[in-house]
Chain A
Amino acid sequence: QKEVEQNSGPLSVPEGAIASLNCTYSDRGSQSFFWYRQYSGKSPELIMFIYSNGDKEDGRFTAQLNKASQYVSLLIRDSQPSDSATYLCAVGDNYGQNFVFGPGTRLSVLP
C-alpha cells in the first residue's frame, strides 16, 4: 500500500518566522509531488507542485524534493497568521492520474 506520512502537528510558529513542513512517501515510482493548503471547513487548494529533485520557489513558498530519501518539504518564509491552515502533501503516480494524500499538518502562526 502506497503511503504518505506527515507530522500531524500542530506546528506553531511566531509571525515572521519560517515554517517547515515535511512529508515522506513510500512509492519510489512517484513522479509528481504537491502541497495543498486547506482552511478549516474549506476544500484543499494547490500551493505548489514539484517534479524534480531540488528546490522550487514561488513567492514566500519553497518546495524541496529529494527522491533518493523519498522526502518532500515545504518552507513558508515570513509566516503570516493567514497561513494558519492544514497543509496536505500529495504524491502522484507514474501517470499523473492518481494521488495519495498524507494526513496533513496543522500549522498555527501566532501573531
Chain B
Amino acid sequence: DAGITQSPRHKVTETGTPVTLRCHQTENHRYMYWYRQDPGHGLRLIHYSYGVKDTDKGEVSDGYSVSRSKTEDFLLTLESATSSQTSVYFCATLAGGRGNEQFFGPGTRLTVL
C-alpha cells in the first residue's frame, strides 16, 4: 500500500465550527488531491496541489481551503462547516507523468450536525 494516512478517520462536528482534515504521505509524490464522495456522485475534486505552496481549485471548492507547506502534508479546512459538507473525504497522491495511477488514503467520514 502507498504510504498515505488521513486524520482523523471519523469526525462529528456542529454547523459553523471549523474543521481541518490532514493527509500525510511518505511516497514523496508531487501531486496531492482532496476529493469528496457522496452517493450518486462518485468522487468529486475539491482542491489539488502540484507542489509545495502550489494549489488550485477543483469542481466543488466552495467552502473549502487547502494548504501545503511540506511535500508530505496536505490540509483541507472547512472554515465554517455546513450540513452539506457531510461526506466521506479521500486524499490521493500522484507521482506525476502521463498515466500514473492515483493512490488513495483510507478516507475520513465527516458528519456535520
Asked whether B40 lies within 8 Å of A99 as measured between CB atoms, the reply is no
A residues adjacent to B (C-beta < 8 A): 1, 4, 8, 31-32, 34, 42-46, 49, 51, 88, 90, 92, 95-104
Q: Note all chain B residues with C-beta closer than 8 A to A97.
A: 31, 48, 50, 94, 96
Contact of A1 among B59, B94, B102, B105 (CB under 8 A): B59
Chain B interface residue number, banded: 20 to 34
Chain B neighbourhood of A88, CB < 8 A: 42-43
Contact of A101 with B44 in the complex, beta carbons under 8 Å: yes
Contact present for A103 and B98 (CB under 8 Å): no
Near A by CB (< 8 A), chain B positions 18-48 give 31, 35, 40-45, 48
The answer to whether A92 touches B42, judged by C-beta atoms less than 8 angstroms apart, is no
Q: Which 5 A-B pairs have the closest CB atoms?
A: A96-B98, A43-B104, A103-B42, A101-B43, A101-B42
Given A88-B43, A97-B96, A104-B42, CB of A44 within 8 Å of CB of B59:
no
* B34 shortest CB reach to chain A, Å: 13
Min CB distance, B86 to chain A, in Å? Answer: 16
Establish whether residues B104 and A32, one from each chain, have CB atoms under 8 Å apart when the complex forms: no
**Selected contact of A43 from candidates B31, B45, B59, B107, CB within 8 Å:** B107
A47 to chain B, nearest CB (A): 10
